[in-house]
Amino acid sequence: MINKIANKVLYECFCLFSYLCAKYLAVMLKPRQGNKGTRKKILALPYYGKGRSGAQERIADWQPFFEERGIEYYVHWSYENKFYEENLMLTTNSFKQYKFYFKVLLDRVRVALTFHQYDSIWIQRGFMPLFPYKNGLFEKQLKKHGNVIYDFYDADYESNYDLVVDTIKSGDKITVASEFLENFCKQFNPNVFYVPFSFKYNNYPVKEYGNLDEITIGWMGSIDNFRYVKDIAPQLVEIEKKFPQVKFVFVCREKADLGLKRLTYHSFADSDFDFFKHLSEFDIGINPLVKYHDRTKAKVSFKCLEYMSLGIALATSPFGIPKGLTHNENCVVADRLEDWDEKLSALIANKVEIKRLGAEARKLVEENFDYAKNIDGLIKALNKSIYQ
């Protein structure tokens, strides 16, 4: 009860403080100065902490590719992951949570006062991470800069429609990681650019298939996404019954009884956890997203990209997948929930096809999700005076 009352009071205080900060920025923000005759400068603000895949791969890891083109690229991290976990993610204590919000907002306001020194500002999702504002309070003020670009790689509007739409409308341009998001954002802003979700795929060792006398079907992901595996559990049980050479390996913090007798779990929290070692056990990686809604349609499954980078054959639902994946060309697509048994059975029975699909998937990653090949498209998206 005390925590509930405290949360309400702190919420009201923070909203008032946010309003005052927005008014302060409205007065203090300066238009971009431009850097005529000097190296162009970009400031990037990730939504998450350093090392988190949505922030590290999507935003931070472009840095050396900008530098190669003579563009200064600065990444500003507003909080440390440990601070986030201790004060927001792993606690229900309202005082700790608002300690996090106040610290991050003050940091963002401080850095916003330097925006005029940069040719382009690239912000992931929105100005203030993780707090559920009801509208684009800050994003409207940032238009004063003249070249602020927002990036989206998921259907964030599903949880906070008004805020996301305000943000899209306020941006000089928008970058997105999927064609679905491109079409959504163009309803509110004509300047939308598709920028593939690039990442360091060469860090992933390509799987060397053996004779496949035993076949391991694998999945890895968060507790939240584990529900999709549970959706196809009856089909996986049938697979196990039909094919005695098949076993399962799942990498997740949660363990559930799915009715599978030959199932091994690895947890990200294990002291001896080895990410690449465990994923390399997979012969077929599965990506079930059997619920058809905007969240699954808009996202680009990083899980798929990781399977593909390892050269693992991919069996997937038809949405939320990287552009270029095509059934029987570089993956197997199970269009409906009831298709999973049939599609996996056909793949298990064809060892040559398992190896071929793995190789073709790796080839697709190399051709389409490489920083070096996509940097020029991103520069075009961020451009206002980059090459002027």
The predicted pLDDT at position 199 comes to 95
Check if 2-198+370-382 and 202-368 are the same fold. Answer: yes
The predicted pLDDT at position 35 comes to 62
What span, in angstroms and rounded, lies between the C-alpha atoms of 80 and 6? 25
- Within 10 A of 132 (CB to CB), how many other CB atoms are there? 9
Specify whether the CB–CB gap between 362 and 311 falls below 8 A.
yes
The predicted pLDDT at position 34 comes to 67
- Spell 205-214 as b/e; 16+ CB within 10 A means b: eebeeeebee
What span, in angstroms and rounded, lies between the C-alpha atoms of 167 and 141? 11
- What are the sequence ranges of the domains in the chain? 2-198+370-382, 202-368
Contacts for 177 with CB less than 8 Å, ≥ 6 apart: 58, 151, 152, 153, 194, 195, 196, 197, 300
SS3 347: helix
What span, in angstroms and rounded, lies between the C-alpha atoms of 210 and 340? 25
Average pLDDT, the chain: 93
Dihedral sign, Cα of residue 154, residue 158, residue 160, residue 165: positive
Convert the pLDDT of each residue in 133-183 to its tens digit.
Answer: 999 999 999 999 999 999 999 988 889 999 999 999 999 999 999 999 999
Tokens, residue 294: 């905007």
What span, in angstroms and rounded, lies between the C-alpha atoms of 317 and 298? 13
Model confidence at 384: pLDDT above 70: no
For 202-368, CATH number?
3.40.50.2000
- CA-angle at 39, arms to 33 and 43, nearest 5°: 65
322 closest CA partner among 277, 374, 274: 374
pTM for the whole structure: 0.92
Convert the pLDDT of each residue in 314-349 to its tens digit.
Answer: 999 998 899 999 999 999 999 999 999 999 999 999
Is CATH 3.40.50.2000 correct for 2-198+370-382?
yes
pLDDT band at 20 (very low <50, low <70, confident <90, very high): very high
319 closest CA partner among 293, 345, 340: 293
The predicted pLDDT at position 113 comes to 97
Specify whether the CB–CB gap between 182 and 192 falls below 8 A.
yes
The percentage of residues in the chain with a pLDDT greater than 90, rounded to a whole number, is 83
